[in-house]
């Protein structure tokens, strides 16, 4: 059922209260009936007792005298109580006219016992106390009846009130329920209204936190915390887009200006070649940058699609070192590799791991002056494989060590302006490591060199 919470709460409230009222009236009805029964039983028993005392006093004076006394007593009872008395032989000593007309069959009883039953006498209902009494050695059977009509009328009146009051009470309960649910949902509506106004332009706005420490306060605080996270992500994306556009604008401007200048007038072939080489170099850098941007965008979208397979880091590092050696040769750097004699198995995406290692080796080469040294080492304990890429380069200021893994972050921009790069390599390296359940960290001494540590969980074997 697609009902608003307010309607559902009202409905529930009504249903619960309606059932409660029905149960309450039913219990009252039961109590009422029980109390009527007790009252009429008591009343008929009292009458029966009166007759027994009368018999005890008059039995010795003969039947006629008993009859006269019983008649007087019956006349005395103004509330419509009836009476009939039979002696041991079954001869009626006295019978009220209603008993005469109805002449019910008398139930059998043990001596000195009293039983109650309800019967119709002359179209009215009576509660009858039937007693077998022994007076001066003689047995009498007494029926003392009291009319139940006045009580039945009171019960009927109560039931009429019940029937009229129930729908009224349920209606009142519905109105009260509607009002109450509206009131308790007011803070929710306020949250909805504020939330509807929050958009990309005012992501810093927060929901008003209600005073009482209840679920709504918890909900508001949770939503505010979520908004804070969304705002932070949004800021990161905005910053990323701004940085990416900025970094792309520079090489595009270089390509365009170089081409424009070259074409302004006719030049010797040598100058054209120079211009084209610059354009080519810048294009390669730009396409690297685009490739990195694409990787990070895919990573953000969770669409990187890594294929995790058993991978021997030992064999793989050897391949990467060969590539690194080509890079290092230009700067007369030496690269050494220290690995154990056994394979080191991890589960990983071969292309991604290759890229991760190449980023670190490329950086080591890039930030190490001519004649320096770079060492790649691999070791393993029970849980982790540890790769360290160490160089004797320019080092990283301590204050920058934490942020170099952020996107577009370059340590000490003044120093690295000469070195090509956009500050995306380590962000990609960190993402790849995390995707493999590993960690990456850096240690460095300014002017002495840096070490990058990668720890990846080992897998049992191939």
- Contact criterion met (CB below 8 Å) for 333 and 374: yes
Measured from the CB atom, is 354 or 410 closer to ligand ADP? 410
Closer Cβ to ligand ADP, 48 or 365, answer by number: 365
Q: Which is nearer to ligand ADP, 380 or 392 (CB)?
A: 392
CB of 456 to ligand ADP, least distance (A): 19
Measured CA to CA, the distance from residue 353 to residue 320 in angstroms comes to: 10
Least Cβ distance, residue 425 to ligand ADP (angstroms): 3
Count of Cβ atoms closer than 10 Å to residue 355 Cβ:
18
**CB-closest chain residue to ligand ADP:** 421
Q: Judged by CB, which is closer to ligand ADP: 51, or 428?
A: 428
The nearest distance, CB 414 to ligand ADP, in angstroms, is 11
> Which of 176, 178, 183, 179 has the alpha carbon at shortest distance from 216?
183
Distance in Å, CB of 409 to ligand ADP, minimum: 6
Query: Cα(303)–Cα(299) distance, rounded to whole angstroms?
Result: 6
Distances (CA, A) of 281 to 44, 251, 257: 120, 10, 14
Distance in angstroms (rounded) separating the CA atoms of residues 93 and 71: 10
Q: Smallest distance from the beta carbon of 180 to ligand ADP, in angstroms?
A: 59
- Shortest distance, position 313 Cβ to ligand ADP, whole Å: 20
Q: Which two tokens stand for residue 42?
A: 């008591």
Long-range contacts at 17-20 (CB < 8 A, ≥ 24 apart): 17/169, 17/170, 17/173, 17/177, 18/166, 18/170, 18/173
Closest CA to 388 of 376, 372, 402: 376
d(CA 292, CA 299): 10
Question: What is the smallest separation between the CB atom of 327 and ligand ADP, expressed in angstroms?
Answer: 13
Min. distance of Cβ 270 from ligand ADP in angstroms?
32
CB 409 within 8 A of CB 326: no
Query: Which is nearer to ligand ADP, 349 or 391 (by Cβ)?
Result: 391
From the CB of 252, what's the least distance to ligand ADP, in Å?
18
Coil, helix or strand at residue 124:
strand
Residues that bind ligand ADP (CB under 6 A): 359, 363-364, 367, 391, 393-396, 404, 409-411, 416, 421-427, 450
- Residue linked to tokens 């396409």: 287
Nearer to ligand ADP, 34 or 298 (CB): 298
Pairing state of beta strands 334-338 and 373-380?
Answer: parallel
CB nearer to ligand ADP: pick between 220 and 368: 368
CB atoms within 10 A of CB 401: 15
Whichever of 52 and 407 has its CB closer to ligand ADP, that residue is: 407
Cβ partners under 8 Å of residue 451, min gap 6: 388, 389, 390, 391, 442, 443, 444
Nearer to ligand ADP, 169 or 248 (CB): 248
Q: Which is nearer to ligand ADP, 428 or 458 (CB)?
A: 428
Q: What is the DSSP letter of 458?
A: B
Nearest distance, CB of residue 457 and ligand ADP, angstroms:
24
Q: How many CB atoms lie within 10 A of CB 250?
A: 14
């Amino acid at each position: 059922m697609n009902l608003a919470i307010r309607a559902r709460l009202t409905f529930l409230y009504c249903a619960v209260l309606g059932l409660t009222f029905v149960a309450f009236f039913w219990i009252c009805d039961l109590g009422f009936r029980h109390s009527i029964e007790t009252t009429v039983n008591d009343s008929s028993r009292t009458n029966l007792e009166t007759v027994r005392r009368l018999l005890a006093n008059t039995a010795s004076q003969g039947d006629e005298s008993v009859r006269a006394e019983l008649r007087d007593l019956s006349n005395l009872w103004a509330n419509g109580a009836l009476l009939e008395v039979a002696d041991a032989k079954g001869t009626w000593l006295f019978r009220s006219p209603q008993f005469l007309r109805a002449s019910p069959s008398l139930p059998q009883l043990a001596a000195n016992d009293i039983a109650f039953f309800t019967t119709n006498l002359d179209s009215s209902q009576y509660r009858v106390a039937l007693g077998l009494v022994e007076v001066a050695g003689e047995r009498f059977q007494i029926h003392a009846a009291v009319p139940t009509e006045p009580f039945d009328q009171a019960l009927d009146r109560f039931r009429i009130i019940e029937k009229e009051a129930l729908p009224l009470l349920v209606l009142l309960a519905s109105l009260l329920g509607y009002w109450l649910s509206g009131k308790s949902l007011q803070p929710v509506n306020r949250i909805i209204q504020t939330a509807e106004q929050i958009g990309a332009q005012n992501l810093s706005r927060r929901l008003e936190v209600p005073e009482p420490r209840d679920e709504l306060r918890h909900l508001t605080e949770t939503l505010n915390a979520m908004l804070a996270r969304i705002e932070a992500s949004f800021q990161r994306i905005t910053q990323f887009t701004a940085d990416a556009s900025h970094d792309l604008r520079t090489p595009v401007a270089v390509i365009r200006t170089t081409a424009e200048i070259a074409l302004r007038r006719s030049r010797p072939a040598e100058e054209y070649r120079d211009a084209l080489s610059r354009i080519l170099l810048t294009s390669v850098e730009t396409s690297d940058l685009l490739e990195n941007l694409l990787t990070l965008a895919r990573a953000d979208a969770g669409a990187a699609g890594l294929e995790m397979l058993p991978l021997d880091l030992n064999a793989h590092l050897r391949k990467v070192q060969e590539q690194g050696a080509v890079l290092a040769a230009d700067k007369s750097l030496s690269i050494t590799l220290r690995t154990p004699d056994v394979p080191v198995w991890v589960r990983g995406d071969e292309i991604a791991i290759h890229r991760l290692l190449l980023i670190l080796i490329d950086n080591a080469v890039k930030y190490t002056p001519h004649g320096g040294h770079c060492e790649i080492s691999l070791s393993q304990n029970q849980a982790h494989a540890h790769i360290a890429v160490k160089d004797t380069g320019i080092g990283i200021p301590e204050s920058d060590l934490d942020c170099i893994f952020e996107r577009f972050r370059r340590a000490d921009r003044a120093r690295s302006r000469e070195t090509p790069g956009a500050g995306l390599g380590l962000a990609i390296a960190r993402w790849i490591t995390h995707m493999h359940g590993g960690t990456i960290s850096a240690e460095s001494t300014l002017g002495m060199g840096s070490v990058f540590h990668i720890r990846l969980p080992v897998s049992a074997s191939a």
